[in-house]
Amino acid sequence: MHQINDFRLQSVIEAEEPFVAPLAFFPDATQDVFDAHGHWLRPRFQDPETGSLIFAFQSYVLRTARHTILIDSCIGNDKVRTNRPGWHLRQGSFLDDLAAIGVRPEAIDFVLCTHLHADHIGWNTRLVDGRWVPTFPNARYVIARREYDFWEQRHRTDPDGPREIAFADSVLPVVEAGKSVFVDGDHQIEDGVWLEPAPGHTPGSMVVNLRSGDATAVLLGDSIHHPIQLKRPDWSCMACEDKAQSAQTRRGLIERYADTDTLMAPAHFAAPSPCRFVRDGDAFGFEAAL
């Protein structure tokens, strides 16, 4: 757990595993860069045996004096994800893991969706008597309007696509239940908690900013996926809708926060994920956040 003055931020990891081959995930990558950085990438961030990049899949729980907030909701159980065998009809312990840190579904006031990819929205809903219902019955689910409109259009034109199926089972039931809140641009949840557009990975991607007293943090969503991108911010991943804009957003965030005390909370860095960005010659690196 990280204390940000009066705020408490805690990660709940649903999975951490070798996930994808580096050159498949980063289309512009070259093997020589991974070879040059292998001394620190392996074994924590890259599997020594397979060479696959190691990813965490996690949510963050933010507790303020007023609210309990879930940032992203991981992969989910019972979801049809035939394109990802490890996620397909998954039976995991995410809700038990939330309960273990003292958070029951009824206690969540807001679910902040940084974007609407399957591994960030899965626990938005759960299967009850054959129907998808909101997992967090008292929560308002906050979604960028631009993000929703993009995936709603994609769902109408290609309802059987893997990401569109995720939209149907993990977003539409929340909207139909009247639990969604659509926002444009910067949006404040409460004093010291606000959303900021970070487009590129998807059109409506957002980061979550925290400020309590003189302490600050940023929850990065998928603006940066893996620590190698601190060395090569120009590398956007295969899932980025606009690779050039994604790189521009990522570099802007890294340059803004490098060599500051701001806590950075990536979604997918291997645990422990929170860190601080630092300058490293002409590139960047990170330091553990103790």
DSSP string spanning the chain? Answer: -EEETTEEEEEEEEEEEEEE-HHHHSTT--HHHHHHTHHHHTTTTB-TTT-PEEEEEEEEEEE-SS-EEEE---S-SS---TT-TTTTT----HHHHHHHTT--GGG--EEE-S---HHHHGGGEEEETTEEEESSTT-EEEEEHHHHHHHHHHHHH-TTSHHHHHHHHHTHHHHHTT-EEEE-SSEEEETTEEEEE--SSSTT-EEEEEEETTEEEEE-TTS--STHHHH-TT---TT-SSHHHHHHHHHHHHHHHTTSS-EEE-SSSSSS--EEEEEETTEEEEEE--
Residue with tokens 């957003």: 249
Residue of 139, 132, 136, 143 lying closest to 176 (CA atoms): 132
Instruction: State the sign of the Cα–Cα–Cα–Cα dihedral 40, 3, 217, 10.
Output: positive
Residue 278: CATH number of its domain: 3.60.15.10
Q: Containing domain of residue 148, as a range? A: 2-288
Q: Average pLDDT, stretch 205-220?
A: 98
Residue of 280, 162, 183 lying closest to 228 (CA atoms): 280
171-192 pLDDT per residue, tens = 999 999 999 999 999 999 999 9
Whether pLDDT at 168 is above 80 = yes
37-88 pLDDT per residue, tens = 999 999 999 999 999 999 999 999 999 999 999 999 999 999 999 999 999 9
pLDDT of residue 153: 98
Which percentage of the chain shows pLDDT scores above 70? 100
Instruction: Decide if 7 contacts 210 (C-beta within 8 A).
Output: yes
pLDDT of residue 256: 98
Q: How far apart are CA 182 and CA 176, in angstroms?
A: 13
| pTM, 2 dp | 0.97
Number of domains forming the structure of the chain: 1
85-102 pLDDT per residue, tens = 999 999 999 999 999 999
Instruction: State the sign of the Cα–Cα–Cα–Cα dihedral 166, 169, 175, 178.
Output: negative
